[in-house]
Amino acid sequence: MTKPDGRRIGHLDMDAFFAAVEQLDDPSLRGKPVIVGGLGPRGVVSTASYEARPFGVGSALPMAVARRRCPQGAFLRPRFARYKEISDRIRSILRSVTGAIETISLDEAFFDLSGRCATFEEAEEVVRNVKHRVRIETDLTCSVGLGPNRFLAKIASELDKPDGFCVIRPESVREVLDPMPVGRIWGVGKVTERRLQGLGILRVEDLRLAPPSLLERELGSMGKRLQQLARGEDDTPVGRQASARSISREVTFAHDLTDLLEIEEQVRSLAADVAVQLQREQLLCHTVRVKIRFPDFRTVTRQVRLAVGVDSAGFIEQLAVHLLYDRVPLRDVGVRLIGVGVADLSISSARQLSLFEKRAAEESPRHPALG
């Protein structure tokens, strides 16, 4: 693990992306609290505009709670196709300045300028230009950070939100990190934070100066990693490390589904959505999985591993439906949640031909239970 040095890593994070897109497309929503997510009684908030956040509404909050806290808000279902369209524009801007891009989600990406920019000053100018182009070409704001590694770039982008720009230089790492609460370190969740606080480790500086033997005894090998981050050290490369990623979609229903045709329709729809994202990101999957949650919250996940990578919507639908009927113990009790996901991703050098699409159409008969 090397100390912060000459690397120049950027991190771009769109501001309240889903809600901002809705406000962009419907000017009547601008300046108003906008909450995007599942609208049923079991739905959760995906994104809340900054106008909604003073009411205590944020991501992952149950939608029913969000409605109570902000009854005057505009509650909208996500429009993923529209969000992907704008996300593609943002990735094009990043690709114009570097080939080393790591897309985290539709609204977030790392980009490595080390090979392009000889100095931090040069990298800062490129990042400012990226931020300006995003505003001009999408009419949306983003927060961008620049640092000597991924961890510090991410921290930098969070320091001046929304519409922020922040640079953490190697010589200012301790000045920036030391006063922060220890919970800002990657990998420190609520449980680990309470454990560290019990040891008197409240700030990042405390973690940086803690005896390594203490951290190893209390946290095992993770203790060493957390202390490295507290020192601002992170050698993780930036790149499209697709094999470590996955793409999934799931939906929780307001009323349990019992009709097999409805269940299959939902599986096919989710599979198609996942395939669209695969194709947009020029990725292939080697694993397809289906997730079913029953009314008693028992959850079943089944998956199939493929010898070759695919991105065909028809083929992924076929596999997902096969898993549903042949591997999931469907009963008359109903289904509370359905999810479809793909994993073991690899980068596609070229879009696949229609071979899989044709075969899927020819070889995907209805399950006998559906006639």
Indicate the domain borders of the chain: 178-230, 242-366
Measure CA 136 to chain center.
24
d(CA 240, CA 232): 23
Is there a catalytic annotation at residue 108?
A: yes
d(CA 74, CA 342): 32
Torsion from C-alpha of 139, 143, 147, 150, nearest 10 degrees = -100
Neighbours of 94 (CB within 10 A): 21
Q: Please name the fold of domain 178-230.
A: DNA polymerase; domain 1 (1.10.150)
Residue 5's pLDDT is what?
53
**Cβ contacts of 252 within 8 Å, gap of 6 or more:** 38, 40, 42, 43, 293, 336, 337
Single-letter amino acid code for the residue at 26: D
Mean pLDDT by 10 residues, the chain (371 residues): 67 96 97 90 84 92 92 92 91 92 85 90 95 97 96 94 94 95 85 89 96 89 90 83 70 84 89 84 86 90 85 86 88 86 74 39 35 30
d(CA 270, CA 267): 5
Model confidence, pTM: 0.68
Catalytically annotated residue among 22, 102, 108, 317? 108
Strands in the chain per DSSP E = 9-14, 34-37, 45-48, 74-76, 101-105, 108-112, 142-147, 165-167, 246-257, 283-293, 299-310, 335-347
d(CA 325, CA 260): 10
Domain 242-366 has CATH 3.30.1490.100: yes
